[in-house]
Amino acid sequence: MLCSTLVFVAAGGCSTTTIVKKDGTSGGAPAGQERRESVPCKGGDTTYPIEAFDISSDEASGSACNVGNVLDEDGSFAALDWPGSGTHKLAGRDVTGCLAAEFGDDITLSSLSMRMRPVGTGCGHACTPGDDGCGSGWKVSIFAGPSIEELDFLQQLSLTTADFFEYRIAVYDRFKAKFIAICREPTPAEGDDIAIDSVYGFCR
């Protein structure tokens, strides 16, 4: 589903993946959520992910919850959280809570859209009032690649509003993007976390 309000941001990229954890299915998804069937996609068509994963290293360095909620735009959101105890690396970058989404067989993305907003409590850890607390942060790192193990840094993105908003970024051909990941930046743990309602892409 396309929304009327979009932010389009050009993409950059560098480095390679150092660690990921590929042990989840859509564990936080609504009851009965299963891997979805791939749907063929022509260039320029909209495509939706078929499964979502928590690829956070451990709870101390961040977490993702209700990750299956990114498969549909329905107001139920996944969240990226960080208690501030440490970070982990993805494609050479320090990150905290991360989720990944897989798109269908033989699909690569030319652009990616994410409906997101900041949230005071992501997965149980609440923000703290103050200058670097609630109302601050609002940054994510975006990754893309042909597999979870080959995710590469695409770009950093700053959220621009406290409301749900759809952010669209270009995905260059060199990423061969069948998988994407969204991670909370290690902005102060006392600040806001990230809520993600939905993710979709456009086929190359």
Predicted local distance difference test score (pLDDT) of residue 132 = 87
Predicted local distance difference test score (pLDDT) of residue 35 = 85
Select from 194, 114, 188, 118 the least CA-distant residue to 154: 114
Predicted local distance difference test score (pLDDT) of residue 127 = 95
Question: Which CATH code for domain 6-28+45-203?
Answer: 2.60.120.430
Q: Tell me the two tokens of residue 186.
A: 């290690």
What are the tens digits of pLDDT across the range 165-200? 999 999 999 999 999 999 999 999 999 999 999 999
d(CA 198, CA 110): 17
d(CA 81, CA 98): 8
**Residues of the chain predicted below pLDDT 70:** 1-33
Predicted local distance difference test score (pLDDT) of residue 85 = 85
Predicted local distance difference test score (pLDDT) of residue 33 = 56
C-alpha dist (Å) from residue 38 to 5, 41, 91, 166: 28, 9, 27, 24
